[in-house]
Structure 1
Amino acid sequence: MHVEHLKLRRSARAAFVIARLAKLELAASLGSRSAAERLLRESSWGWLGDPKLPADDQLGAALAAVTSRAAPCRPGDAEPLCLADPTFEDLLESLGRAGYRAQSGPMREALSDRERWTAGMAATLLDRAAAMELHSASSSPDALSETLLAGLGLGELWSRRAHGFSRGPSFLLDPSTIPAHPSPGAGPALIAAAHLIPYRVSLDVARGGIAFSWLEPTLRLLPSLSVDSIANVLDIDGTGRVSSTFGLMPTLLLGRAALGAGAQWTLPWSGVIQAPGVVGRIAWVQERFAVTGGIRSLTSGHRQAVVMLSVSDLNGLVYWLTLWRAR
């Protein structure tokens, strides 16, 4: 027999896989699982045996997941005995049900946090696509596609934002999509220059004014729950007075929108510090665009309304949309 000639039975894992697949194939060829079980009890099938794997060997769980989806072999068959190709989603769910314990970091992430894994994989693929495009352009400048590079930049914006926001618990000092390490075709100087651009710019449409924030540390407790910071280092109101505004805002992600409410303190660069105010915020498009409303201070006589429109990850937007187009 080919199994004996190839000495596959010397490997416990090979013997296990061969036995499992042979039993599945026999049931499919007979059109009945019970008929296959009766035939396997005959002495002529004793060579197949019932190989076992060590308790910590994940091959059994992986094989069970891969072979978990079945369909009828022929129209009218009573039993689904032929293997069907699982989708990637089906495979991950089957691996989880089979108790598969991933050994590699990416596989553990795919099983535990599919959205984060998808975003991280997308960012990796986009980086490689950009590197290939830039390499092709180095030998043939006319081959450089501005449209493709703009599309890759938009893809990086989405994937890196989704990857950073889908994790919990974690602390993000800088939630911008500017990478920690240089991207293909860029150097560390470009990253440093991008960080000079504010992370968030807010316009006060109630009283006039503008505010700038460069860092907004975030404590992400769950993928849908975080404690965001308000860190407008430079806050200029409609009269030209300058202050800094800091605060905390617990935020809940509901579908495509994020709702937050919290307190903020306005610290004037000159003058008396007032009591904190109360604000609420609704944000959408990966929390890039937001409307904030509330009261600047609870101090009597200083209860001015706050209505602000803001754009966040502005520095990341500039970085990814100009990174490769500038070449």
Structure 2
Amino acid sequence: MKRILENIIEDCRKWTSKGEVASYIPELAKANPEALGIWVTNLGGEEYFAGDWDIKFTIQSMSKVITLMLAILDNGTEYVFTKVGMEPTESGFNSITNLETHEQKQPLNPMINAGAIATVSLINGETADEKINRILNFTRKITGNDEIGINYNVYESEKKTGNRNRALAYYMKGNGIIEGDVEEILDVYFKACSMEITCKDIARIGAMLANDGVLINNERVISREACRIVKTIMVTCGMYDASGKFAVHIGIPAKSGVGGGIMAAVPRRMGIGVVGPALDAQGNSIGGIKILEKLSHELDLSIF
């Protein structure tokens, strides 16, 4: 396996020159566009890695999987999906169009920014600090990494430039989709996106999802049914408006982030974490997608 991963990394490095790092959040523009790495955790606890797997980067939109799981744990699936839908979108991840045109005025799914802001608002906690601490502690538990924390430089950068997200949040507040203080909810959202992780951490989350909500130490953290819903939404919505193409060519439940990470869960087989900060036009790691495409073909990972 290690040789396979090393060969794939080498083959895919050329793709990093064809993408660009995220610049709309100034702090993310400092990432190395040539970095490329992978970590694989199988359900037997065996782990393999190659390339720049150990670089730290912020979780960004992969946190949407975590906040969705917590919202379900706190409220149940039925209530969560009265506030956010389950449908894919052909619009960008930060589009406001769907909120205006959708009959219920709710976000189409939890994997776009509006949907994630809505699910963050559902997480239990009397204060913003309590909410983000629950997110941090849950993330530490499902990764097995107690050192995970917030990159405050990225958080401040996101907060200063997050006016599109503010527009989404206040629009939803006006339509009764979210309750509570909008700025506090956004603060939790920005901090959740700014958690600093490695490929190993997101591969561990992927392995838990691949194992129907059970950690590699056999502890269940989310129900099988909730886990099934999360993975299904990852397939249909996890790669933004490129989710259909990703499903056709790679066929693995996955979620990307503009920090360059992609978290993937191959049911009953493995979790995969990749990083490549150079992004394509949809905001997905251009090298990361090529890695997953080659690995899926090599190991026959597609669920379809």
Which of the two has greater helix per residue? 2
TM-score range, shorter chain: under 0.3
Q: TM-score, normalised by structure 2?
A: 0.21
Structure with the larger RCO, 1 or 2 (CA within 8 Å, 6+ apart):
2
Structure showing the higher strand proportion among its residues: 1
TM-score (norm 1): 0.20
